[in-house]
Amino acid sequence: MDFFKEHTFHIPVLGIGYSLDTPVKVAPYGISSVISLVDDSLIEDMRKFYCDKINTPFHSISEKVEDFRAKRITAYLDLVDDIVKEKVEEIKHSASKAGDEFDRYMDMLPDFAEIKQKFTDKGKQAYDDVSSWVNDHIHPGSIDVNIMTKLDKVNTKNGVELPIEYNDAHAALRGFANSKLTSGVVFSAGMSPRLYTYLENFKDFFPDTMGDIKKRIILKVSDFRSALVQGKMLAAKGLWISEYRIESGVNCGGHAFPTNGILFGPILEEFRQKRDMLYETCITAYKAALKKKELKEPAKEPELIVTAQGGVGTAEEHNFLMDHYKLDRVGWGSPFMLVPEVVSIDKDTVDLLADAKEKDLYFSGISPLGVPFNSVRGTSMQFKKLEMAKQGKPGAPCTKQFLKYNTEFTEKPICTASRQYQSKKINELKELNLPEKEYKEAYDKIIEKECICVGLGVAADRSKNIPVTKHIDAVSVCPGPNIAYFSKEMSLKDMVDHIYGRKNMLDDRPRPHMFLKELVMYLDIYKERCEAFMKKPEDKKEYKQLSQFRKNLLDGVEYYRSLFSAKKKEVVEELERMMDKYPIIRKEPKLV
pLDDT > 90 in the chain, percent: 85
The amino acid that residue 536 corresponds to is K
Instruction: Report the distance separating Cα 263 and Cα 260, nearest Å.
Output: 9
Please report the pLDDT score of residue 469 as a whole number. 66
Band of the pLDDT at 117, cuts 50, 70, 90? confident
Please report the pLDDT score of residue 129 as a whole number. 60
pTM listed for this prediction: 0.95
| Mean pLDDT value across the chain | 93
Strands 143-148 and 32-36: parallel
Q: Is 115 helix (H, G, I), strand (E, B) or coil?
A: helix
Band of the pLDDT at 116, cuts 50, 70, 90? confident
Instruction: Report the distance separating Cα 81 and Cα 173, nearest Å.
Output: 17
**C-alpha torsion sign, points 76, 82, 83, 88:** positive
* DSSP string computed for 433-455: ---HHHHHHHHHHHHH---HHHH
Instruction: Report the distance separating Cα 540 and Cα 126, nearest Å.
Output: 74
Band of the pLDDT at 5, cuts 50, 70, 90? low
Domain boundary assignment for the chain: 9-309+317-338, 351-497, 512-586
What are the pLDDT digits (tens) for 522-567? 999 999 999 999 998 899 999 999 999 999 999 999 999 999 998 8
Strands (E), 85-210: 143-148, 156-157, 160-161, 183-188
pLDDT at 125 > cutoff 60: no
Q: Are 183 and 145 in contact (CB under 8 A)?
A: yes
Nearest in space to 480 (alpha carbons), one of 315, 358, 392: 358
Mean pLDDT value of segment 301-311: 96
Nearest in space to 244 (alpha carbons), one of 217, 267, 214: 217
Band of the pLDDT at 128, cuts 50, 70, 90? low
Q: In the chain, what is the straight-line distance between the N-terminal and C-terminal CA atoms, in Å?
A: 55
Please report the pLDDT score of residue 467 as a whole number. 84
> What are phi and psi for residue 360, nearest 5 degrees?
-85, -15
Please report the pLDDT score of residue 20 as a whole number. 98
Band of the pLDDT at 1, cuts 50, 70, 90? very low
Please report the pLDDT score of residue 437 as a whole number. 95
Please report the pLDDT score of residue 505 as a whole number. 97
Band of the pLDDT at 123, cuts 50, 70, 90? low
What are the pLDDT digits (tens) for 226-265? 999 999 999 999 999 999 999 999 999 999 999 999 999 9
Instruction: Report the distance separating Cα 5 and Cα 13, nearest Å.
Output: 19
Band of the pLDDT at 3, cuts 50, 70, 90? very low
Q: What is the dihedral of CA 108, 181, 170, 23, to 10 degrees?
A: 20
Q: Output the CA angle 369-370-373, nearest 5 degrees.
A: 90
What are the pLDDT digits (tens) for 181-202? 999 999 998 899 999 999 999 9
Please report the pLDDT score of residue 177 as a whole number. 98
The amino acid that residue 111 corresponds to is D
Nearest in space to 184 (alpha carbons), one of 229, 129, 227, 242: 242
Tell me the CA distances in angstroms from 75 to 46, 67, 152, 178, 313, one per residue in order.
11, 12, 21, 9, 36
Give the distance, in angstroms, between the CA of residue 178 and the centroid of all CA atoms in the same chain: 23
Q: Which residues contact 97 (CB under 8 A, 6 or more apart)?
A: none
Nearest in space to 244 (alpha carbons), one of 262, 266, 270: 270
Helix 40-53 vs helix 68-93: angle between axes, to the nearest 10 degrees? 40
Please report the pLDDT score of residue 416 as a whole number. 97
What are the pLDDT digits (tens) for 463-516? 999 987 666 789 999 999 999 999 999 999 999 999 999 999 999 999 999 999
Band of the pLDDT at 149, cuts 50, 70, 90? very high
What are the pLDDT digits (tens) for 419-442? 999 999 999 999 999 999 999 999
| Helix (H) / strand (E) containing 36 | strand 32-36
